[in-house]
């Protein structure tokens, strides 16, 4: 299981000790021991929503872009190029933390990222929620009627489904919203726009044709904060525990598993069945 807590706690909780030794919450949110800024990995290029989430969680951090989520995970654990793969960044000690989008209020769970949590030995030590405000971007001089297609991350395209349908644009998925903006700008495309943030428009010199094009104004993405070591949650503060387990096939096994929490007055904020199609015998 993984514990995550964003509040300060006492360092004297000697009851919870594991390998490696857990960090306290105060240690978690302080700068690294050599006095340099905390390095936080995120997937994407500059202007990505994950970069904004990293800077919201750690305002004075050095946000480190990674090519893929797998790279960013591994850069949390040695000192190579800045543009890495997400898992590599964390596990090879190139960064101190990583932010991972896990759930969106419109698009739901981001299933691929649950895979990463299972495949890599990192701990959830916090979370941050980011209000996502999508913009339709294009090169300067390009009008809305000039566009025939739009590029963005699949989640962003899904979150703007109604708006993009009304405009009549074909969609093309890419790895990252900011990468879509960068591509449109770099190739000076006249018939193609990008769904990305206003900061991406500023970074890549694009024009904002339309703002807040998401289908729901309450569009929020929840990001997990990951670290190599767990933390000790404060006893006096509320905290969350994330658990993954498998069940043998049989009648009522899920009911029996959930009853363990109900009988102890433990509230579940989310129950997620993972891997059903890969292994029908497991829940």
* Residue 9 neighbours by CB distance under 10 Å: 19
Q: Tell me 145's DSSP state.
A: G
CA–CA dist 164, 43 (Å, integer): 25
Which one-letter DSSP state was computed for residue 249? S
- Which residue do the tokens 């591994």 mark? 74
Alpha carbon distance 260, 228 (integer Å): 29
User: Which residues are designated catalytic?
Assistant: 221, 223
Q: How far apart are CA 16 and CA 9, in angstroms?
A: 13
Q: Which among 90, 108, 103, 109 has a CA at the least distance from the CA of 43?
A: 90
Using the structure block, give the residue that is written with the tokens 């941050």: 128
CB 60 within 8 Å of CB 39: no
């Amino acid at each position: 299981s993984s514990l995550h807590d964003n509040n300060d706690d006492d360092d004297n909780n000697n009851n919870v000790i594991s390998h490696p030794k857990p960090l306290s919450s105060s240690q978690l949110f302080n700068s690294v021991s050599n006095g340099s800024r905390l390095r936080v990995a995120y997937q994407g290029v500059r202007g990505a929503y994950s970069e904004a989430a990293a800077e919201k969680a750690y305002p004075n951090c050095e946000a480190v872009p990674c090519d893929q989520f797998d790279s960013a995970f591994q850069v949390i654990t040695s000192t190579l190029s800045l543009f890495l793969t997400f898992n590599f960044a964390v596990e090879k000690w190139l960064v101190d933390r990583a932010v991972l989008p896990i759930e969106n209020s419109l698009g739901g769970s981001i299933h691929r990222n649950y895979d990463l949590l299972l495949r890599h030995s990192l701990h959830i030590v916090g979370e941050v929620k980011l209000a996502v405000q999508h913009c339709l971007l294009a090169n300067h001089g390009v009008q809305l009627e000039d566009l025939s297609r739009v590029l963005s991350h699949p989640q962003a395209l899904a979150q703007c489904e109604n708006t993009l349908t009304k405009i009549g644009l074909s969609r093309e998925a890419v790895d990252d919203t900011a990468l879509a903006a960068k591509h449109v700008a770099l190739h000076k495309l006249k018939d193609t726009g990008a769904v990305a943030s206003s900061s991406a428009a500023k970074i890549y010199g694009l024009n904002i044709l339309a703002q807040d094009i998401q289908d729901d104004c309450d569009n929020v993405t929840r990001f997990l904060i990951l670290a190599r070591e767990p933390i000790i949650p404060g006893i006096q503060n509320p905290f969350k525990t994330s658990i993954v387990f498998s069940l043998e096939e049989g009648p009522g096994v899920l009911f029996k598993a959930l009853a363990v929490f109900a009988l102890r007055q433990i509230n579940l904020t989310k129950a997620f069945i993972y891997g059903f199609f890969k292994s029908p015998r497991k829940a």
